[in-house]
Amino acid sequence: MIKAGIIGATGYAGAELVRLLTNHPDVEIKWYGSRSYIEQPYADIYGSMFEIVDADCDGEDLVELSKTVDVIFTATPQGYLLGALNEEILSNAKVVDLSADYRIKDAQRYEEWYKIHHTTPEFLEEAVYGLCEINREDIKNARLIANPGCFPTCSVLSLYPLVKEGLIDENSIIIDAKSGTSGAGRGAKVANLYCEVNESIKAYGVTVHRHTPEIEDQLGYAAGHELTLNFTPHLVPMNRGILVTAYASLKEGVTQEMVDLAYQKYYQNEKFVRFLKGAKAPETRNVKGSNYVDVNAVVDQRTKRVVAMGAIDNTVKGAAGQAVQNMNIMFGLREDAGLEAIPMVF
């Protein structure tokens, strides 16, 4: 059995990790780390775990934790791992970080977008960006995984075949994304109160959202050169889910058949990416509670553009599920172990 520890186990992503790993056939959770609920029963915080998890919350001593487990999941705010990670920890246990601390390879670029000084840039080159469908081979031998953000996961997987096959003008990409409120985390914020969110929709982080450089970097690697795009997220009154609708100008002569073949090429053997084909549009309810990504791309011959679409559960494939998928790859397990849940639909 793989021994796992979770730092930030009482946040939304941490709670999803507990849910998924509790049902994992090859994992035992040894540590439920939480700065806010030390020595409190985990099931008192999440009643869904009553008579399922019989453990108290521990503190956040990463060095001590690394001596007792094989893998550590850090479901923590940006900047936490920067001040905690060291060589001793990585020598003792593998680390899957759900924050953005090691996703962006350029420390100065990270500091520019996140306004946090990067104190451990020595680990940036080693960290593997854990988008499993694209970086699977690098993940296998990694000690440190930078688990992708929710918006980047959906955006990159929705557009990757088009960019990789050179079917679009990469600098024409516009991404319109919608997210449920759990994406903002469990912390109390006035903007996320029920009366503030219900019966409303709004754009936020316009031109300055911190996932922008992450999306640009990953699609830039696929294109083979740097690119610039527009990314605008919106908050919608639902708990879970991300829907991406992206637009780009097609290169001369590109047809719907060529687009379909590109998606089939990259995703036909990927269990968790479902290419819908035809005019069928992804829906967040069809992936809710699961690790699936539904994608499609429709050519508009009238405007010579393509509309690429994707839907994920932001707390599963956009966070905890992808972290478990990364762990499975790192330890040579079945990639879908613990992730076989069928979407909940409602």
Helix 132-140 to helix 321-330 angle (10° resolution) is 40
CB atoms within 10 A of CB 174: 14
Catalytic annotation present for 150: yes
Three-state DSSP string of 97-160: ECCCCCCCCCHHHHHHHHCCCCCCHHHCCCCEECCHHHHHHHHHCCCEEECCCHHHHHHHHHHH
Choice among 57, 132, 150, 154 that is catalytic: 150
* Nearest C-alpha neighbor of 342 from the set 292, 268, 273, 284: 292
Distance CA 159, CA 295 (A): 9
CB atoms within 10 A of CB 114: 18
Rg, Å, the chain Cα set: 20
Runs of H (alpha helix) within 231-311: 256-267
307-316 residues labelled b (16+ CB within 10 A) or e (exposed):
ebbbbbbbbb
Using an 8 Å Cβ cutoff, are 236 and 198 in contact?
Answer: no
Q: Any idea which residue has 């009154």 for tokens?
A: 237
- Give the DSSP H or E segment for 7: strand 2-7
Residues 6+ apart with CB under 8 A from 224: none
Q: Which sequence positions are flagged as catalytic?
A: 150
